[in-house]
Amino acid sequence: MNQGKHPEKHFSASDAVRDVVIGMSDGLTVPFALAAGLSGAVGKTSLVVTAGAAEIAAGAIAMGLGGYLAARTDVEHYRSEHARERREIEEVPEVEAAEVAEILQAYGLDEQQCGRVVEGLRQHPRRWVDFMMRFELGLEEPDPGRARASALTIAASYIAGGVIPLAPYVLLDNMRSALLASVALTAVALLVFGYVKGRFTTARPTRSALQTLLVGALAAGTAFLIARLIA
């Protein structure tokens, strides 16, 4: 009988996928809505390209900076809570020991079992702090270098998404043809992106694809109608 290790397949790049989803979803939707809206108000595709390019640049910077600050905040919050837990273990160890026992009892351990675990943690203060961070506060230590990677990933994903709806306006001079091509191309991109996102993040990739398409269609349709009414 084979007693080898059971290979567990768990997805371990959730932070990177989250950054791609944030950047790509906005990159596809916002420039698409802007281009569609301008198509109902201006007569030259060059104006749509100029405005779209400016929006993509500004959006990529803003989104990337937002991702950077969010990641830095996660690191600072973790360090602050870690320092607080370390002080509490040093100053009020009995209170912290009682909290450990309460956590373990929620997992079904009896008083004797809890006592052994608590005693073991008392011998290793650093691991005790790590235990409290994870099981009391639900915090995992963030990668200190993730802030820069997060910013670059979100910004690059935003640009990649934004280029798709804007491409037809670069290649075609006729506004109507460019709009229809942009709608078709972006619809396909939204479906593919939504499906791939669903494969990584949910058990319903088809539903994710349709939801992503619906959001993009609503945003672009609203922008187009508003521009039509105002123009």
Per residue in 45-97, pLDDT tens? 899 999 999 999 999 999 999 999 998 998 899 899 999 989 988 888 888 88
> Is 52 among the domain residues?
yes
Task: Name the domain count of the chain.
Answer: 1
What is the pLDDT of the chain when averaged over all its residues?
Answer: 84
> Is 194 among the domain residues?
yes
Nearest CA to 166 out of 40, 27, 43 is that of 27
DSSP state, residue 14: H
> Is 70 among the domain residues?
no
pLDDT for res 171: 92
With beta carbons less than 8 A apart as the criterion, state whether 132 and 89 touch: yes
Contacts of 86 (CB under 8 A, 6+ apart): 125, 129
Write down the residue that tokens 């370390």 correspond to.
Answer: 86
> Is 120 among the domain residues?
no
Q: What share of the chain is helix, strand, coil (3-state, %, to 5)?
A: 80, 0, 20
For the stretch 146-149, contacts whose Cβ atoms lie closer than 8 Å and that sit 24 or more positions apart, written own/partner, are: 146/15, 146/71, 146/75, 147/67, 147/68, 147/69, 147/71, 147/72, 147/75, 148/68, 149/16, 149/19
> Is 112 among the domain residues?
no
pLDDT higher than 80, residue 223: no
pLDDT higher than 50, residue 204: yes
> Is 8 among the domain residues?
no
> Is 77 among the domain residues?
no
**Alpha carbon distance 56, 83 (integer Å):** 40
pLDDT higher than 90, residue 12: no
Domain extent for 24:
16-63+160-230
pLDDT for res 168: 93
CA angle 166, 168, 169 (to 5 degrees): 70
Question: What percent of the chain has a predicted confidence (pLDDT) above 90?
Answer: 24
> Is 141 among the domain residues?
no
Residue type, 31: P
pLDDT for res 169: 93
User: Please, which pLDDT band fits residue 119 given cuts at 50, 70 and 90?
Assistant: confident
pLDDT higher than 50, residue 6: no
